[in-house]
Amino acid sequence: MASSKLSKFVVAVDNTNINSEEAKLWTSVVSMAAFDAVKKTEYDVYANREIQEARNWFRNKSWDFHYVCNLAGMNPDYVHFKMMRQINKIEKGMKQWSKRPALGASATAT
């Protein structure tokens, strides 16, 4: 499911006609980071670290984020905007889920 959302994202972001093989490579880098960023966190500590690093890469808009987007022929501001919408939606859902009472927990404390 995430891959179909990702492919729609990449098509929407990449409105240029990529001719060079190098630009295709950098598009793949952005796509892989986007795929990692929209994954739900897991119980695996290393996987969670990769997810958070990918989200922070989009969130912080560092010089290398701009550089990679430009090499891929993508507008960094647009990529940031679209990815932050997805990341915020995922993180909001995770916060709502964590506020729910545990299964089997009583509604009133005695």
Residue 107 lies in a domain: no
When divided into structural domains, the chain yields a total of: 1
pLDDT digits (tens, 9 = 90+) for 34-82: 999 998 777 777 788 899 999 999 999 999 999 999 999 999 999 999 9
Structural domain containing residue 55: 2-96
Residue 110 lies in a domain: no
pTM: 0.68
Cα four-point dihedral sign 6, 8, 11, 13 = negative
Does 4 or 44 have the greater pLDDT score?
Answer: 44
CA–CA–CA angle 99, 60, 45 (5° rounding): 50
pLDDT digits (tens, 9 = 90+) for 94-105: 666 556 565 555
SS3 43: coil
Residue 19 lies in a domain: yes
